[in-house]
């Protein structure tokens, strides 16, 4: 419940839906200089400010002096609890991992305020990485697209399910695959010295060839013949990898188009089994790779996306805090999920 204050702080742009039976929270200032606290069910609890929670860990932002954060999973910039869901102390993060489709852009249109927010985070010292389940393009394509829209980006900052499949092939010693996918996936695999047995020189896939692994991703040239060829490989014992299982992709004007998950469903139905491995979200495999390459601990990396069941689930598996943005597929936040209407919620002025 809220209490009147002599100088009420501006209302932050993110919201938290009230929960039945939630604890009543009262704020008060401790007598100790520079310390903030809340009182929850009659128990005073000391809150740490930005930059004071763990010595030796870089803190790109600093909390506004005198700010008091409420207990409860209120907003996206929360100090994570043991489960990575948030324990109430609002702060900036050393690393932000952003989904692309529905979070930063829809089709060829940048989502309002997204580029400004990401630039601001980078200017203040945070590292940024981009992770998309879209396997249809190369790292270079996504980097150019983001740069054109005003996002700070280099190819090495982009992680996709195409790069994830290439890394998986290297890890497992697979050098030949049958691919249901776009030319961008084919090119990424070829750059990793993986032969795509059913692709021509331009990266277009055809219903021919055999391999020890079948990779299924978004494929706008999908045909019955291609489905049959993938099935024949699987019936002969090939491994079955899916780039992701997203049912749809968000486009301009709120339109949706079928995603890779619809093609994975078709292959799984005729094969009588699901994929042996899903490379992209909600699998934590690529997020773990990002954390290892950046040297950031899970609790110091905020995952931001528009799908709780994929974008955010992979973060929670690793203990990362998460934030749902309501600019893509999801229009209403589940209970207990930190969220914001758009990315401005990551730059709440009351926290600075």
Could you give the percent of the chain with pLDDT greater than 90?
66
Phi and psi at residue 281, in whole multiples of 5°? -60, 140
- Mark whether 50 is an active-site residue: no
- When mean pLDDT is compared across 304-313, 319-328, 342-351, the lowest value belongs to 342-351
- When mean pLDDT is compared across 64-68, 131-135, 281-285, the lowest value belongs to 64-68
Question: How much is the pLDDT for 255?
Answer: 86
DSSP 8-state secondary structure symbol assigned to residue 205: B
Written as one string, the DSSP assignment of 100-168 is -BTTTEETTEEPTTHHHHHHHHHHTT-EEEEEES--SS-HHHHHHHHHHTT----GGGEEEHHHHHHHH
Instruction: Please name the residue that has the structure tokens 């339109």.
Output: 255
CB-count burial class (<10 Å; 0-12, 13-18, 19+) for 289: middle
Confidence bin at 174 (pLDDT 50/70/90) = very high
CB atoms within 10 A of CB 335: 10
Q: How far apart are CA 188 and CA 186, in angstroms?
A: 6
Question: How much is the pLDDT for 243?
Answer: 97
Task: Tell me whether the omega of the peptide bond preceding residue 124 falls within 30 degrees of 0, making it cis.
Answer: no
The encoded tokens of residue 200 equal 């021509």
Written as one string, the DSSP assignment of 315-339 is HHHHT--EEEETTSS--SPPTT--E
The CATH architecture assigned to 162-278 reads 3-Layer(aba) Sandwich (3.40)
Confidence bin at 61 (pLDDT 50/70/90) = very low
- When mean pLDDT is compared across 77-86, 141-150, 288-297, 335-344, the lowest value belongs to 77-86
- Mark whether 99 is an active-site residue: yes
The mean per-residue pLDDT over the stretch 73-86 comes to: 42
Q: Which of 36, 101, 246, 348 is catalytic?
A: 101
Question: How much is the pLDDT for 348?
Answer: 72
Geometric angle at alpha carbon 99, from 98 and 100, rounded to 5°: 110
Does the structure show a pLDDT above 90 at 97? Answer: yes
pLDDT tens profile 248-305: 887 888 788 999 999 999 999 999 999 999 999 999 999 999 999 999 999 999 999 9
Phi and psi at residue 259, in whole multiples of 5°? -100, -175
85, 55, 295, 83: CA torsion to nearest 10? -20
Geometric angle at alpha carbon 13, from 299 and 351, rounded to 5°: 55
The encoded tokens of residue 275 equal 């994929």
Does the structure show a pLDDT above 60 at 25? Answer: no
Question: How much is the pLDDT for 249?
Answer: 83
Does the structure show a pLDDT above 80 at 107? Answer: yes
Q: Which of 50, 99, 306, 348 is catalytic?
A: 99
| Whether the model pTM is above 0.75 | no
Does the structure show a pLDDT above 60 at 119? Answer: yes
Confidence bin at 133 (pLDDT 50/70/90) = very high
């Amino acid at each position: 419940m809220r209490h009147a204050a002599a100088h009420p702080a501006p209302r932050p742009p993110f919201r938290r839906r009230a929960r039945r039976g939630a604890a009543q929270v009262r704020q008060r200032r401790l007598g100790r200089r520079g310390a903030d606290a809340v009182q929850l069910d009659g128990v005073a609890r000391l809150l740490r400010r930005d930059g004071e929670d763990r010595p030796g860990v870089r803190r790109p932002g600093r909390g506004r002096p005198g700010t008091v954060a409420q207990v409860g999973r209120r907003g996206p910039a929360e100090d994570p609890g043991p489960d990575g869901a948030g324990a109430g102390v609002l702060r900036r993060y050393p690393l932000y991992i952003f989904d692309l489709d529905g979070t930063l852009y829809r089709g060829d249109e940048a989502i309002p305020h997204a580029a400004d927010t990401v630039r601001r985070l980078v200017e203040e010292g945070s590292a940024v990485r981009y992770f998309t389940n879209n396997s249809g393009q190369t790292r270079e394509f996504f980097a150019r697209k983001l740069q054109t829209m005003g996002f700070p980006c280099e190819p090495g900052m982009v992680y996709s399910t195409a790069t994830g499949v290439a890394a998986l092939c290297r890890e497992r010693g697979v050098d030949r695959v049958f691919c249901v996918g776009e030319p961008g996936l084919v090119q990424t695999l070829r750059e990793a010295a993986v032969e795509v047995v059913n692709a021509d020189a331009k990266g277009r896939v055809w219903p021919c060839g055999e391999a020890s692994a079948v990779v299924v991703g978004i494929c706008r040239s999908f045909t019955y013949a291609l489905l049959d060829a993938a099935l024949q490989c699987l019936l002969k014992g090939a491994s079955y990898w899916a780039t992701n299982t997203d049912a749809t992709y968000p486009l301009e004007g709120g339109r949706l188009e079928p995603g890779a998950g619809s093609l994975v469903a078709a292959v799984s139905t005729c094969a009588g089994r699901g994929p042996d491995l899903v490379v992209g979200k909600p699998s934590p495999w690529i997020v773990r790779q990002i954390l290892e390459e950046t040297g950031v601990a899970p609790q110091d990396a905020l995952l931001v996306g528009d799908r709780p069941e994929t974008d955010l689930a992979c973060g929670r598996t690793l203990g990362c805090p998460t934030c749902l943005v309501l600019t893509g597929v999801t229009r209403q936040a589940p209970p207990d999920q930190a969220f914001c209407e758009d990315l401005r919620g990551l730059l709440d002025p009351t926290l600075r």
